[in-house]
Amino acid sequence: MKNYLSLIKFSHTIFALPFALIGFFLAINSLESNINWITLIYVILCMIFARSAAMAFNRYIDRKIDLANPRTAEVREIPNGTITPKNALIFVIVNCILFVGTTYLINPLCFYLSPVALAVVLGYSLTKRFTALCHLVLGLGLSLAPIGAYLAVTGQFDWLPLFFSFSVLFWVSGFDIIYALQDEAFDKEQQLHSIPVLLGTRNALMLSNILHVITASFILYAGYYADLGLFYWIGSGLFIGLLSYQHFLVKPNDLSKVNLAFFTTNGIASVLFAAFVLLELYVNV
């Protein structure tokens, strides 16, 4: 179990899961209904199954690339022999089946859209072979969290959860560009595509910054659109502040703090923001 949790980087669920909870509780709040705990469990399970399938598929598809990359050859489970490619693929299939099955238990719309969601989150793993826009595809996959959770409750689309989905799209794309800086030289050698390969380190960081400005714009507009109050604006300030902070951590000539910027800063930002959104929805001040 420990090896499979490491394979899928289970701790990285902290990025999108808080936004799924935002989508869920926005929907509950909009319907002015009681919390349906069974649906909430289904939403969390969908997040776990979809992300597990996506990460394991990424490791399966990239196994030869990971073996050739000095950064990943010894630490990733398939290249170092901890998990066989066959077992990783079985793990992907099982999680895909569990994801689709869980959406069936939620409502028909989520079930009908489940193949589309899987196509996006699995398809990301192929994109760096032909496009530098792979970071945006990853962002798109994680951006399904808030709108998917909203659909699980309401069965219909709405603008407010979409604003949060757009926020996740540009947020994740931006910090994935920062993460990809570590492999710029290797990706060039292997003829793989990424924004750092296309633009270089300095310009890639600039684009990441621009994407995070767009993220902040959607976060702020969502609060304005929904006429949200104090707790939301505190959470927004913390989230945007941490987005800005990660850009001070990573410099074109110093990538030593990439992992701190990638995981710690973004993980804290996501959890804090979700906590303040929930306070806004359920605490009267």
**Cβ atoms of residues 123 and 92 within 8 Å:** no
- 48-93 pLDDT, tens digit per residue, is 999 999 999 999 999 999 999 999 888 888 998 999 999 999 999 9
Residue 130 is predicted with a pLDDT of: 96
Residue 263 is predicted with a pLDDT of: 78
Nearest by Cα to 243 from 278, 276, 282, 217:
217
Neighbouring-strand partners of residue 254: 251
Indicate the pLDDT class of residue 36, thresholds 50, 70 and 90.
very high
**Rounded alpha-carbon distances, angstroms, from residue 211 to 200, 217, 243:** 16, 10, 10
Q: Which CATH superfamily is domain 2-282 in?
A: UbiA prenyltransferase (1.10.357.140)
Look up tokens 């699980």; give the residue.
Answer: 152
Q: Where are the domains of the chain?
A: 2-282
Nearest by Cα to 153 from 46, 279, 274, 10:
46
Residue 285 is predicted with a pLDDT of: 54
Q: What's the rounded Cα separation, in Å, for the pair 189 and 187?
A: 5
5 pLDDT above the threshold of 80: no
Residue 105 is predicted with a pLDDT of: 97
**Cβ atoms of residues 175 and 181 within 8 Å:** no
Q: Which segment of 150-154, 164-168, 201-205, 264-268 scores lowest on mean pLDDT?
A: 264-268
